[in-house]
Chains A and B, each alone.
Chain A
Amino acid sequence: MSEPLSPSSPPPVAEDDEESRFAGLEDWIATIVGLALIAIAVAGLIPKGLVP
């Protein structure tokens, strides 16, 4: 069994490219995006009815 992995198989630990760098930072980016959205909504900057 030496068939290479398909492009979408998920071993993102080994690729030194932009995609894997994003994967490494994914936790922080998700946290920042989530908290930023909360801050914007709490400040009342998202018009009511804009988010379906």
Chain B
Amino acid sequence: MSAITTTAGDSTPAAEPPAATPARRTNWIGVIVGLIVVVALAALTRYLDKNVPAWTADTAFGKIAKSIEYPVYAIAIGLIGNVILSALRVRDLLAPAFRTEFFIKTGLVLLGISVNLSVIWKAAGPAIIQALILITSVFFFAWWLGGKLGLDEKLRALLGTAVSICGVSAAIAAAGAVKARREQLAYAASLVIVFALPSIFLLPWLADLLNLRDVVAGAWIGGNIDTTAAVAAAGAIVGEDALQIATIVKTTQNALIGVVAVALTAYFAFRVAAKPAGATATASTVEGASAAAQASKPGLIELWRRFPKFVLGFVAASAIGTWYATSGWEGASANISTLNNLRTLFLILAFVSIGLEFRVKALRQAGWRPIVVFGAATIANIVLALILASILFRTVTT
């Protein structure tokens, strides 16, 4: 049995605790060269997005090329870059520059300028209801199924949180809360990425097949795909309205990370930790940084610490945009157009980074049961989110 699928009753640490390592210093040459690579691939994405439809206009591929949106080019180019850099054995050296999270968060703050505050106001209620129902249902389904398949409680908590809230960030928060092992966190995070990548293309295709309104499709995508970057990519493929709603729904779910982290901390502190010694796996726990230490103090401070602060930037940008668009200032329309182009650039940088960061190595380390749990929970999430989005967002407009 692998370390990751250790059952609740198995107290044998299958992985040795990692030796204390000195703090790594940032390889600035790698960061700078990596940034140049990301920007160059983003420029190539923009170039192909603008020119491929014209190049193929009179060919059999022309119709398809016209319907391909920029996230598809960006992720494909990122994946190709990933293969090339891995073959050249420089990928890991440049990896510190592949900042998907930073690029997507900056892009989403910039997106706020185009989202009228009234849209956030209209969508917030349904988004909160949808998020609460989805998180609760999908988390407990994954928890229950993981228990049936004999997974360790910490891994069950990580998988449930990752699949029900917002992927890697939620898994990191949960890992700190339940003091999971590094291997478990890496595994849950890898599952998130592996499942998110096909979802970027599958969900917009299904939304089209099901003839969903863009707003409903956006709510479905936002409630479904686990990483914020992948949500933005899928939303952008469907269209601007879907991107806006998907972002609002996703950021609502992101904002609930803190609540879940506090609940998990309390559960593991009072229930799991109260079990006899050896009832839970105790190998190398994720407690290096402040995550685990602070997770043991549930409360308002923990809620604030887990709160995704870029959401504040998104709402502030929306308030500025709502005022600016109606201010009558000379050049307002042109300046907002410039900001929209900037936003697209940051989203492209994020999508290219998704492709560059992608790897399946960790998946081979842990057997089939967590994959079954994550896959089944994902399918349950897709079905439930479709029902909820269709009901809750049927009258919402942008």
Interface residues of A (CB under 8 A from B): 1-20, 23-24, 26-35, 37-38, 41-42, 44, 46, 48, 50-52
Contacts and interface: CB of A to CB of B under 8 A. Distances in A.
Contacts of A26: 99, 101-102, 105
Contacts of A15: 23-24, 288-289
Contact of B186 (A9, A30, A32, A42): A9
A17 B320 contact: no
Contacts of A34: 105-110, 112, 310, 313, 317
Contacts of B109: 30-31, 33-35, 38
B342 A51 contact: yes
A50 B335 CA distance: 11
A11 B313 contact: no
Interface in B1-57: 2-4, 14-16, 18, 23-26, 46
B245 to A, nearest CB: 20
Contact of A30 (B105, B185, B288): B105
Nearest to B291: A13
Contacts of A1: 2-4, 14-15, 183, 365-366
A37 B186 contact: no
B168 interface: yes
Interface string B241-260: 00000000000000000000
A8 B30 CA distance: 13
Given A2-B3, A14-B287, A38 B15 contact: no
Interface residues of B, number: 69
B338 A35 contact: no
Interface of B: 2-4, 14-16, 18, 23-26, 46, 91-92, 95-96, 98-99, 101-102, 105-110, 112-113, 168, 172, 175-176, 182-183, 185-186, 189-190, 286-292, 308-310, 312-313, 316-317, 320, 324, 331, 334-336, 338-339, 341-342, 345, 357, 359, 361-362, 365-366
A30 B14 contact: no
A4 B99 CA distance: 22
A41 B335 contact: yes
A5 B183 contact: yes
Given A1-B14, A38-B110, A52-B46, A13 B175 contact: yes
A27 to B, nearest CB: 4
A34 to B, nearest CB: 3
A31 B331 contact: no
A8 B105 contact: no
B186 A5 contact: yes
A28 B292 CA distance: 21
Given A10-B189, A27-B310, A34-B109, 11 more contacts: A1-B2, A1-B3, A1-B366, A9-B186, A11-B286, A34-B313, A35-B317, A37-B106, A41-B338, A42-B335, A48-B334
Count chain A CB atoms within 10 A of each CB in B24, B286, B338, B357 and give the residue with the most: B338
Given A31-B312, A37-B342, A14 B289 contact: yes
Nearest to A18: B26
